[in-house]
A and B are shown apart, each in its own frame.
Chain A
């Protein structure tokens, strides 16, 4: 046994050495390939947070691509949850957030009180939050899109979790929802059930459409999933300014969100080409969806997706660069 063991080991070593010697002679040497363009002198580097949804990644991909290729900046991407990214403005770990969904409380803390962050204008993307049903339901029950008719269909939405009422499925805990108040104030015979994550929501919609299961859930746009399935929004009583002033008495739809950019105070004060780019960066839901689709559905890397989009939309990019 012992003999055999050592013999095997010797063989293995011998073979490896021989293979290395043979293969090694022909290969390209490290350092032969081109070094990346020596940039970054003028622009320097900045830290860009990447929030965990594909739409955001599309923003980040395009801004990083333009900053790197056109301005020669070094962009350090950091994958962070929103809350933690805000903390990062204070510690200097984050310079740029390209898509902020409201978060008035955090704005108050970090912009007004701590004075470590400043606003840098709109992203140009409009955020919509609301209740949605899968397309097959809207086709089969056309009047379901009016929230007044929801009680009529409550029985359809019963599940093992909803305690005899209709189920309204809520999603990612990152978003503040008014759904419990809405259900109560609109007199709906529904129970809010927490799915707990975006993954769970999307899977639920996918399954609902495929197996024609009824589903009513909280969702939002822009979202890459709309490329796969055109969910239909339920019309809640229209939003009017101030109708959401008292959280307990809300009986109206969610307000439209103008998604905006936040940068660290330090980054804004330093100025520089990267700051100008971030400040000028503005595009539309369609633009973002196009890039998000390339990433999520066509499986391109963010960088490749950005390259494709930038080449097709050079004029828009030039306006960001002040050309």
Chain B
């Protein structure tokens, strides 16, 4: 029913809105020709404002020696070192870690089997053996140790926060704002200051990872708690349960599977931080990637990136299986088998502590170097074959779309751009969107990097449009066809967790150093998340609804456009929103391949102490762009009528 009402709503309102918006844009373009070049607030590469210098000077204001930071640091450090000595580093006077590779494979497969099923157990064993064969066992274990530490700490903080935000509306509003900040503020902005608070080493790397990885778990926990039907809560209350009992007996069990999705996303986010954290000496695969890129060795970098992807896929499938497993006590048979398995694991651990072949992964098998050679060859081939063509595409898109858009945004006076944005927000979402727009525009001007923000905004808009178009197409396709879903899911996982640094080199060869290269990289990174959310939304459309549409003879196109997309509207809004946030998360990486503007400012602030303040201001500008675009897209999305959240 909701679908039909909203359809009507769309048909009545849209034309009027779009006419008004069209007129607004025409007025803007006309005004641009008259006013271009006035009040554009430019700022040269090495120039700073008073605000930037103030930020630079006050950077060290907390400093170290603070007892709170020292305590946190030593606790986190010890946790990481403990995990490392268990699986990766020589420890306790022995030349090998406490548990050798055989033991780690056995334990992991056993856990996967106990919490998931035998299929993921096989996958786990195969995945771990594969990274070993790649010649990256120790690096992978370092990465795993750091990831586990960061994920454990993230969950320790995120789950209670998520529950709180799930129960209280006010906490939910505050949390959403802070989470937006945590996810869009570029890591580079807080990486260097973190080392001031927590010194160089595993602690700073873990905490940097935590900041980026915790938000999904908070969001999804809160979302899960809020989605529990009120009837269940009322029933529990009426039976005389206390608040605590309602939480532990009703709310938490009912939201378990969604919370697991949150944990899963946290793991993925933590793994995507591996390379960035390596910049402050985090051990593991990130180091291998960075070292290989110093000599532009795409093959070796790809090999290490592939290991990260494999670990990510294993962790993803195991947590998903654990989330899907029904909550029931095991049968006697399974208990016996689990017991037998446990004994097998203990035997494997004993072997891995006693014999060298089970402790250190045999290094003679050169799978890794063969992968590296193949990857390098493929890259060269692609570059040679498509090189000329890709430059043509780049020039066409840049000249035809990007340059005019950028000229319009950077050439107009700031107050004109501001007025257009606020009016647009007001048309789409009335004062609820207009007020945040006014605040964001004001703060953007205050950051002193207005013109750079507009350059970045132009690229971001273009990238987001492409992401949404590609993500919707792929998502609908995968959502309607199980086989497609099965094939593209590992590719999507790879897109999300393969360190961007790895594919930047081939991209640079294909497109040169340009804004277009940055857009391409952002698209690769953001399409997976958009596709996944759309696919899940399409799959969630009740089968009966689709069949009803089919039975009245609708074509596939009609089913998609009139039934599936409108019903999956909420998922699509979320997909657009996440696509946008992911595009913004890549702005800094874009700065490393020629996008300039905000991304470059942030990177320069990380590298040069006198530009720190400007880098921080640019980081804040990225957040502001994120909040601004987020509020406008939310407002533009058609609201469901009446029923509210639950459908």
Interface residues of A (CB under 8 A from B): 5-6, 8-10, 12-13, 16-17, 20, 23-24, 27-33, 35, 52-54, 57, 78-84, 86-88, 90-91, 93-94, 105-106, 109, 159-161, 169, 172-174, 176-177, 180, 192-204, 206-207, 211, 224, 247, 295-297, 299
Q: Name the contact of A200 in the complex, choosing from B106, B337, B592, B608 (C-beta under 8 A).
A: B592
B44 within 8 A of A: yes
B591 within 8 A of A: yes
B355 within 8 A of A: yes
B113 within 8 A of A: yes
A28–B353 Cα gap in the complex (Å)? 11
**Contacts known (A83-B608, A173-B603, A203-B296); A24 close to B337, Cβ less than 8 A:** no
Other than the known A29-B356, A174-B607, what 16 A-B pairs have Cβ atoms closer than 8 Å? Answer: A13-B344, A20-B347, A30-B95, A30-B354, A80-B279, A88-B195, A159-B514, A173-B606, A173-B607, A177-B45, A177-B46, A194-B600, A198-B294, A199-B501, A203-B509, A296-B295
A16–B344 touching, CB < 8 Å: yes
Chain A's closest residue to B296 (CB) is A202
B46–A78 touching, CB < 8 Å: no
Q: Name the contact of A204 in the complex, choosing from B96, B508, B611 (C-beta under 8 A).
A: B508
A204–B383 Cα gap in the complex (Å)? 13
B593–A197 touching, CB < 8 Å: yes
Tell me the minimal C-beta distance from A190 to chain B in angstroms. Answer: 14
Chain B's closest residue to A195 (CB) is B513
| Interface size, chain B (Cβ < 8 Å) | 78
A161–B394 Cα gap in the complex (Å)? 11
B199 within 8 A of A: yes
A91–B199 touching, CB < 8 Å: yes
A194–B593 Cα gap in the complex (Å)? 8
A30–B96 touching, CB < 8 Å: yes
Tell me the minimal C-beta distance from A210 to chain B in angstroms. Answer: 9
Tell me the minimal C-beta distance from A303 to chain B in angstroms. Answer: 13
Within 8 A of A (CB), among B310-345: 333-334, 337, 340-341, 344
A5–B118 touching, CB < 8 Å: yes
B405 within 8 A of A: no
A81–B607 touching, CB < 8 Å: yes
List the A side residues contacting B122 at CB < 8 Å: 12
**Contacts known (A197-B593, A224-B295); A160 close to B516, Cβ less than 8 A:** yes
List the A side residues contacting B595 at CB < 8 Å: 196
A299–B354 Cα gap in the complex (Å)? 33
A173–B592 Cα gap in the complex (Å)? 9
Q: Name the contact of A27 in the complex, choosing from B358, B508, B514 (C-beta under 8 A).
A: B358
Chain B's closest residue to A174 (CB) is B607
**Contacts known (A24-B351, A79-B281, A207-B509); A196 close to B599, Cβ less than 8 A:** yes
Tell me the minimal C-beta distance from B394 to chain A in angstroms. Answer: 6
A179–B360 Cα gap in the complex (Å)? 51
**Contacts known (A30-B353, A105-B609, A161-B513); A9 close to B113, Cβ less than 8 A:** yes
Within 8 A of A (CB), among B177-210: 192, 195-196, 199-201
Chain B's closest residue to A88 (CB) is B200
Tell me the minimal C-beta distance from B43 to chain A in angstroms. Answer: 12
List the A side residues contacting B278 at CB < 8 Å: 79
**Contacts known (A20-B351, A79-B281, A88-B200); A196 close to B608, Cβ less than 8 A:** no
- What per-residue 1/0 map shows which CB atoms of B364-407 lie under 8 Å from chain A? 00000000000000000000000100000011001100000000
Within 8 A of A (CB), among B496-514: 501, 504-505, 508-509, 512-514
List the B side residues contacting A91 at CB < 8 Å: 64, 196, 199-200
- What per-residue 1/0 map shows which CB atoms of B585-609 lie under 8 Å from chain A? 0000001111110011001101111
B173 within 8 A of A: no
A173–B337 touching, CB < 8 Å: no
List the A side residues contacting B504 at CB < 8 Å: 199-200
List the A side residues contacting B344 at CB < 8 Å: 13, 16-17
A172–B95 touching, CB < 8 Å: no
Tell me the minimal C-beta distance from B517 to chain A in angstroms. Answer: 8
Q: Name the contact of A28 in the complex, choosing from B200, B351, B357, B599 (C-beta under 8 A).
A: B357
A20–B514 touching, CB < 8 Å: no
B512–A105 touching, CB < 8 Å: no
**Contacts known (A9-B118, A28-B355); A160 close to B294, Cβ less than 8 A:** no
A159–B106 Cα gap in the complex (Å)? 55
A198–B279 Cα gap in the complex (Å)? 15
B45–A180 touching, CB < 8 Å: yes
9 contacts between A and B (CB under 8 A): A8-B118, A16-B348, A30-B353, A80-B200, A81-B280, A173-B611, A176-B46, A196-B600, A200-B504
Q: Name the contact of A52 in the complex, choosing from B290, B353, B600 (C-beta under 8 A).
A: B290
B333–A6 touching, CB < 8 Å: yes
Tell me the minimal C-beta distance from B427 to chain A in angstroms. Answer: 33
Q: Name the contact of B591 in the complex, choosing from A30, A105, A196 (C-beta under 8 A).
A: A196
Chain B's closest residue to A211 (CB) is B387
A193–B607 touching, CB < 8 Å: no
List the B side residues contacting A197 at CB < 8 Å: 592-593, 603
User: Which of A32, A173, A202 has most B Cβ within 10 Å?
Assistant: A173
B347–A194 touching, CB < 8 Å: no
List the A side residues contacting B607 at CB < 8 Å: 81-83, 172-174
A192–B45 touching, CB < 8 Å: yes
A105–B44 Cα gap in the complex (Å)? 20
Smallest CB-CB A-B distances: 7 pairs: A173-B604, A27-B355, A174-B607, A195-B513, A197-B592, A203-B508, A160-B398
A196–B279 touching, CB < 8 Å: no
Chain A's closest residue to B278 (CB) is A79
Tell me the minimal C-beta distance from B45 to chain A in angstroms. Answer: 6
Tell me the minimal C-beta distance from B361 to chain A in angstroms. Answer: 13
B287 within 8 A of A: yes
B515 within 8 A of A: yes
List the A side residues contacting B290 at CB < 8 Å: 52, 79
A249–B514 Cα gap in the complex (Å)? 29
List the B side residues contacting A160 at CB < 8 Å: 394-395, 398-399, 514, 516
A280–B94 Cα gap in the complex (Å)? 35
Tell me the minimal C-beta distance from A97 to chain B in angstroms. Answer: 13
Chain B's closest residue to A297 (CB) is B295
**Contacts known (A17-B347, A28-B356, A192-B45); A199 close to B516, Cβ less than 8 A:** no
List the A side residues contacting B45 at CB < 8 Å: 177, 180, 192, 194
B293 within 8 A of A: yes
A242–B606 Cα gap in the complex (Å)? 28
B610 within 8 A of A: yes
A169–B294 Cα gap in the complex (Å)? 19
List the B side residues contacting A172 at CB < 8 Å: 607
List the B side residues contacting A88 at CB < 8 Å: 195, 199-200
